[in-house]
């Protein structure tokens, strides 16, 4: 049976075009896949001939992984190198064309800075034995390595392990120059990484002769001198071109520790160090034993300069100040400064005395101090324990967290907003977002006066003030108005001192409390005079007028609280005998930094203690060593002077309940101490120690018994 078929529909031209396109795509994809598979098969067959097995396979795998890790390490090194190379921006070769001679407050010359350090003598004109003495001691393979001497580093490590102490350094001359030109002496991993990259950069951009020239011209050589030519003139009264072998060996020995081996301070130590240099010259093959024999038998003698100590940290800061205020075109100057050598010596002695006595116990190695007289004159700067070992000025350049020593700026802002010392707030727990600060004691309280909270350094109270009543911007603004130049963060944790500040900033800010609420008086230069006698700058005439930043009411309230901290608060070890003082302690997280900043009617001083590598101390607080350093130094500074009152302190505001409890605790502590001393066997002291103790007792007669007594074990340090 025939079934009728429906007529087939005729396709249009568009449908036909799409069908042809679909067929073309299918065939093209098929051909592409087929050719790719052919290519892959051919490549597989080709590389199959390189297939290895056994130990060769493991070698190839190791090399492959090594290349992968090397590529990743190269990217990481590049990321680390970029910050280092940023240090090379600017004219790093120039020392500036200033030549400044500095005089202290009494007109005595205390040092020089700038091109007056002496003109450079080309390396080619220096005697051969001078260059050999330096290279044999500092970098024997200087002309063989490319910035970093790995063989010398290995040798130094071996010798240090063998001697069980640091007897040799591993840094090349190029590395030391990189540190001198671009970096600081802070012992951090970041600094060492930068130093390594900058060493390679110097080697790529300078010749060996240029690197050696810069090293010899820029290194600190003790006695306030920079460069080997200045040192030759200072110690021997001659040019470096005229040095004998014995004199060259003595100068070459200064690069390691210029303060320790300075011949005008310790000639026996300098001669012993020179003998080590002569040994190095023989060991390195630069000279024979016969050639150095005369230098051993006839060691160098130095020009008698007395025991003049150069206030190098102060001079570095004052030199920067001169550059800021000197008129354009006038660069050869005599600067009359505010420097006081007696106060400087007292500050240095107090830092060194306490770090020698208690440094190991508290695991602290460095300190910094700034002393400012009430008229704004900067009298002393201690930028570290040893300028020869580290020219980094910790007093003016190091940014360190301030801890509770920042709280006066918070409380001062509160006083400006209507609070008073007897205002009552809660000292209970407080949360600010996801931040819940704790008190040092670990406990919380109830209602408390601002005075009580301040002297006990309770953390939750200033946080509550900032959160509920003040906010961060006005606190930051007042701190900056009071003279703080360090960049302050605008984070809420700032109220507990998490922002980094310099010791100079702290002393400047607290000096406002001693100067009746005024700021703008801090200065280190009183006059700049040309060598013809023309006065080109006079602080009394040219400096901007001081301005008030704290109202009289706020100032009176703040000083009422600050003066109670040494009496009933956290700084009782800073209390001065028969002298009213005020201040605040500060301790940062993990005990990395400890502060005491205080003032009298005559002086303001800030003290910081810590470690260059940010290692935590052994539970050191601002009320311990910093307060003790401040107290010893200020006792000396106030001898034989007219005592000035602290502004606003006629009848100090005292919380009588707190004062009574503090007095009772002091009596109990004194009784326990007397009982302990009574049962202890008196130590047998040498005549020298007895004389030293008698001298100290006369100096500190009448001082409060708040400093821990000297124990027999610690007497040996005297």
**Residues with catalytic annotation?**
138, 404
How far apart (Å, rounded) are the C-alpha atoms in residues 433 and 436?
8
How far apart (Å, rounded) are the C-alpha atoms in residues 329 and 307?
36
Tell me the β-bridge partners of 102: 111, 335
Among residues 583, 589, 592, the alpha carbon closest in space to that of 438 is found at 589
Determine the length of the chain.
718
Among residues 294, 653, 265, 337, the alpha carbon closest in space to that of 525 is found at 337
Residue pair 326/536 in contact (Cβ under 8 Å)? The answer is yes
The string of DSSP letters for 522-561 reads -BSEEEEEETTS-EEEEHHHHSPPPEE-S-HHHHHHHHHH
DSSP three-state, residue 435: strand
Say if strands 500-501 and 400-401 run parallel, antiparallel, or are unpaired.
antiparallel
How far apart (Å, rounded) are the C-alpha atoms in residues 137 and 129?
12
H/E run at residue 382: strand 378-382
Residue pair 451/561 in contact (Cβ under 8 Å)? The answer is yes
Distances (CA, A) of 158 to 36, 86, 213, 373, 709: 60, 34, 30, 51, 43
Tokens 């921006």: give the residue.
Answer: 89
Q: Quick one: tokens of 267?
A: 């000639």
For the chain, the maximum distance between any two Cα atoms, rounded to a whole number of angstroms, is 145
Among residues 497, 463, 471, 489, the alpha carbon closest in space to that of 622 is found at 497
How far apart (Å, rounded) are the C-alpha atoms in residues 583 and 576?
12
How far apart (Å, rounded) are the C-alpha atoms in residues 293 and 600?
60
Among residues 334, 336, 339, the alpha carbon closest in space to that of 373 is found at 339
Tokens 């961060």: give the residue.
Answer: 472
Strand intervals (E) in 465-600: 500-501, 518-519, 525-530, 535-538, 547-548, 582-587, 593-599
DSSP three-state, residue 645: coil
CA 121, 123, 126: angle at the middle one, nearest 5?
Answer: 75
Say if strands 332-337 and 99-103 run parallel, antiparallel, or are unpaired.
parallel
Q: How many CB atoms lie within 10 A of CB 629?
A: 29
Phi, psi torsion values for 10, nearest 5 degrees: -85, 125
Residue pair 608/595 in contact (Cβ under 8 Å)? The answer is yes
Say if strands 525-530 and 447-449 run parallel, antiparallel, or are unpaired.
unpaired
Q: Quick one: tokens of 705?
A: 């018994």
Q: Quick one: tokens of 179?
A: 């540190």
């Amino acid at each position: 049976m025939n079934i009728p078929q429906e007529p087939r529909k005729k396709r249009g031209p568009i449908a036909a075009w799409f069908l042809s396109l679909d067929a073309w795509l299918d065939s093209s994809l098929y051909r592409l896949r087929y050719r790719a598979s052919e290519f892959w098969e051919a490549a597989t067959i080709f590389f199959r001939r390189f297939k290895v097995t056994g130990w060769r396979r493991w070698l190839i795998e190791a090399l492959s992984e090594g290349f992968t890790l090397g590529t990743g390490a190269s990217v990481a090194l590049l990321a680390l190198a970029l910050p280092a190379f940023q240090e090379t921006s600017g004219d790093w070769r120039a020392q500036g064309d200033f030549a400044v001679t500095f005089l202290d407050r009494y007109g005595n010359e205390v040092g020089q800075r700038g091109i007056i350090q002496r003109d450079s003598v080309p390396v080619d004109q220096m005697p051969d034995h001078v260059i050999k003495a330096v290279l044999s001691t500092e970098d024997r393979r200087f002309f063989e390595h490319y910035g970093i001497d790995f063989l010398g580093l290995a040798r130094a490590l071996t010798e240090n392990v063998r001697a069980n102490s640091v007897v040799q350094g591993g840094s090349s001359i190029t590395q030391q120059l990189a540190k001198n030109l671009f970096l600081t002496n802070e012992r951090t991993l970041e600094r060492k990484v930068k130093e390594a990259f900058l060493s390679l950069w110097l080697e790529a951009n300078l010749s060996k002769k240029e690197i050696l020239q810069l090293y010899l011209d820029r290194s600190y050589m003790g006695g306030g001198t920079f460069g080997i030519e200045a040192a030759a003139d200072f110690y021997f009264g001659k040019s470096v071109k005229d040095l004998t072998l014995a004199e060259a060996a003595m100068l070459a020995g200064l690069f390691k520790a210029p303060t320790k081996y300075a011949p005008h301070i310790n000639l026996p130590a300098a001669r012993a160090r020179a003998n080590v240099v002569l040994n190095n010259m023989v060991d390195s093959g630069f000279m024979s034993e016969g050639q150095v024999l005369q230098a051993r038998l006839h060691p160098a003698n130095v020009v008698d300069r007395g025991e003049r100590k150069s206030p190098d940290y102060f001079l570095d800061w004052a030199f920067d100040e001169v550059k800021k205020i000197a008129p354009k075109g006038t660069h050869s100057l005599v600067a009359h400064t505010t420097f006081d050598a007696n106060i400087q010596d007292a500050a240095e002695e107090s830092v060194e005395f306490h770090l020698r006595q208690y440094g190991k116990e508290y695991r602290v190695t460095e300190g910094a101090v700034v002393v400012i007289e009430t008229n704004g004159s900067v009298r002393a700067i201690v930028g570290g324990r040893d300028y020869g070992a580290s020219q980094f000025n910790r007093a003016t350049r190091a940014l360190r967290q301030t801890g509770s020593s920042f709280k006066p700026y918070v409380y001062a802002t509160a006083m400006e907003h209507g609070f008073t010392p007897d205002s009552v707030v809660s000292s209970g727990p407080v949360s600010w977002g996801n931040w819940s600060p704790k008190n040092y004691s670990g406990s919380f309280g109830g209602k408390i006066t601002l005075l009580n909270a301040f002297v006990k350094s309770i953390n939750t109270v200033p946080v509550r003030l900032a959160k509920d009543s003040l906010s961060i911007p006005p606190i930051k603004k007042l701190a900056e108005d009071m003279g703080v130049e360090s960049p302050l963060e605008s984070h809420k944790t700032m109220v507990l001192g998490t922002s980094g500040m310099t010791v100079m900033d702290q002393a400047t800010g607290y000096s406002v409390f001693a100067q009746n609420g005024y700021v703008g008086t801090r200065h280190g230069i009183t006059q700049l005079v040309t060598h013809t006698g023309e006065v080109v700058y006079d602080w009394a005439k040219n400096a901007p007028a001081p301005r008030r930043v704290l109202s009289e009411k706020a100032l009176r309230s703040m000083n009422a609280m600050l003066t109670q901290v040494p009496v009933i608060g956290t700084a009782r070890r800073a209390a001065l005998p028969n002298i009213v003082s005020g201040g605040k302690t500060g301790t940062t997280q993990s005990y990395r930094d400890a502060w005491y900043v205080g003032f009298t009617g005559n002086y303001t001083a800030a003290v910081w203690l810590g470690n260059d590598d940010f290692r935590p101390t052994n539970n050191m607080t601002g009320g311990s060593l910093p307060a003790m350093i401040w107290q010893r130094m200020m006792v000396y500074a106030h001898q034989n002077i007219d005592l000035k009152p602290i502004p606003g302190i006629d009848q100090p505001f005292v919380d009588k309940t707190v004062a009574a409890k503090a007095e009772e605790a002091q009596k109990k502590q004194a009784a326990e101490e007397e009982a302990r001393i009574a049962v202890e066997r008196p130590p047998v002291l040498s005549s020298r120690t007895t004389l030293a103790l008698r001298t100290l007792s006369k100096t500190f007669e009448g001082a409060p018994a708040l400093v821990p007594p000297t124990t027999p074990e610690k007497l040996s340090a005297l």
